[in-house]
Copies of this chain bind each other. A is one copy, B any other.
Amino acid sequence: MVEQLADMAYGQTWEAKAKGAREARDASLAKVEPALQLPDGLATSSQHLPVEHLTPREYDLTTNYSTLELLKKLRDKTLSAEELTRAFLRRAAIAQHATNCLTELMWDEAIERAKYLDSLPESLGPLHGLPISTKEHQGMHLYNRPLDCAYVSWIGTPSPHSPLNQILWDAGCVFYARTNQPQTLQCIETNNNIYGRTVNPWNRNLSSGGSSGGEGALIGMRGGVLGIGGDIGGSVRVPAGNNGLYGFKPAAKRLGVAGMTAAMAGSEGVLATYGPIATDRETIDLFMKVVLDGQPWKIDPSLETRFWSPMTISKPLKIGVMWSDGVVQPHPPVQRALQSVVECCKRAGMKVVDWEPLDHGPAWDLYISLLYPDGGAAARHPIDASGEPMLPLIKWITVDQPESKERTIHEYWSIVARRETYRAKYAAHWNSTSADDEQEVDVILCPAGPGAAPLHDTAKYWPYTSHWNLLDYPAVIFPSGVCVDPAKDVKDESYQPLNEQDAYNHGLYDPEKSAGAPVGLQVVGRKGMDEFVMAALREIEGAMGR
């Protein structure tokens, strides 16, 4: 496959190379059987398609069970891995038709793997038979697959060994689909010159988010229950939020990035991490436990040597609610979602206080300084290599940001020192929350973004997620239960924006256009408190009656 693509690519225009990759993707989809007869014209929401095109049994299996329930059936052998895998493969193909979320459907490989698992007398491991999807740039060395990271010039690059994929594999999973991502991966939407744009399954006029937007759309249509993305500024969390899902960004050194291919290897100003996107909270906890039980630090020694230790919280939480980051006011449905969850938490006896954002505006400039001390050159270089055009949001982030500039080593060191100072200031700020009542804020509850999923090519405000990468705080997205409702979420036409970014975001809001879009919220903990954040989410969802 690698050689074949490389040959195809030799001496071709970028358009021809991209077409070759798309044809390979389409060929992988053509294996679906029974073949799906999907409509050419698509409604705004794609959520009606699965029930219409799957068998009742397939629909039931892919819709009505949690991951833990599926795993129990697989373990009990009341459900075969093959049947489940075929059902998710077909649902993934529907998701692809509706949202353009895949770069490859691994039909043959997944079924062969499922059959093998079914042939075993005992479960192979805790993920026995569970289909898992992965973002394309994470590669698929297990099947010797190439990758492209959404760069035309990289089409056909061999996948390196992935310790994460290996651990999931050893735990018994079935890899069945690889998913789309934006050019450069530095975008909170998903569009590129190879596979095109991934749209939102709830509303095709809206973004699926990015950079793990293929995962977001696939899982958002329940074309899977667990997918693996990566996050350096919101790339797991924005797709989770945009598609009504759960998405977790652990501290950078719990899962790391070993096995991921990216243009900026060796850059450490802000650290990226793998992260799961899932249909429920328990799947996130399971994923973390399974991966860390695999002791990835023995392969990737950059990681903390630390198993996943689920926590139980015994006293009522003290929650700091960040209604706004002080720079960009979230849209009305986000405010309504926060209010709704806060009411539940108060009713459950939790203490709720306002979280004062500390210098989030300047922190964005610091974030960009750390991300692009090369002026964004490394991220753009593979674009230039093929002649493919740079997409507008990529130009906006890598070129137009004033703090994206080439630095000397000493300039870079001083930026890193500023980062350390800011992190220490934020820690002191958090410490100060115990001043009044001797009880420190446990977690921050805040928006997942400045609105629900945005219209395409408009997502220019990362800091509701990127801020926690800058601080290396663990953060989890969960669905608030609120969807955009034009009747309830009226635009405040009298609103006076605080600044240019706020005016831009305010201008984007149109409740009619985003009607029905789910609203995600975010729970953020102090550095190192990954397990605590997940435990806090359990408390909060408990208060919400989940």
Contacts and interface: CB of A to CB of B under 8 A. Distances in A.
Contact of A409 (B406, B420, B423, B431): B406
Contact of A410 (B374, B417, B423, B431): B374
Contact of A299 (B297, B409, B415, B428): B428
Given A264-B413, A374-B409, A305 B423 contact: no
A117 B414 CA distance: 41
Given A302-B423, A424-B300, A417 B528 contact: no
A266 B413 contact: yes
A390 B431 CA distance: 44
A412 interface: yes
Q: Quick one: which of A407, A413, A426 has the most chain B CB within 10 A?
A: A413
A301 B472 contact: yes
Contact of A305 (B266, B300, B301, B527): B527
A286 interface: no
Contacts of A258: 424
A180 to B, nearest CB: 26
- Chain A residues touching B, range: 35 or more
Number of copies of this kind of chain in the complex: 2
A471 interface: yes
Interface string A289-302: 00000000111111
Instruction: Identify which of A264, A268, A377 gathers the most chain B CB atoms within 10 Å of its CB.
Output: A268
A472 B431 CA distance: 29
Interface in A395-450: 406-410, 412-417, 420, 423-424, 426-428, 430-431
Given A298-B427, A373-B409, A420 B266 contact: yes
A306 interface: yes
A265 interface: yes
A126 to B, nearest CB: 22
A408 B408 CA distance: 6
A485 interface: no
Nearest to A473: B301
A304 interface: yes
Nearest to A163: B424
Given A266-B417, A268-B416, A528 B305 contact: yes
27 contacts: A258-B424, A264-B413, A265-B413, A265-B414, A265-B417, A266-B416, A266-B420, A267-B413, A268-B416, A298-B526, A299-B424, A299-B431, A300-B427, A301-B423, A301-B471, A301-B472, A301-B527, A302-B420, A302-B423, A304-B304, A304-B528, A305-B526, A374-B408, A378-B410, A378-B413, A406-B409, A409-B409
The 7 residue pairs across chains A and B that have the minimum distance between CB atoms: A305-B528, A266-B413, A266-B417, A266-B416, A301-B427, A374-B409, A265-B417
Given A265-B414, A374-B409, 12 more contacts: A265-B417, A267-B413, A267-B416, A268-B416, A297-B527, A299-B431, A300-B427, A302-B423, A305-B526, A305-B528, A377-B410, A406-B409
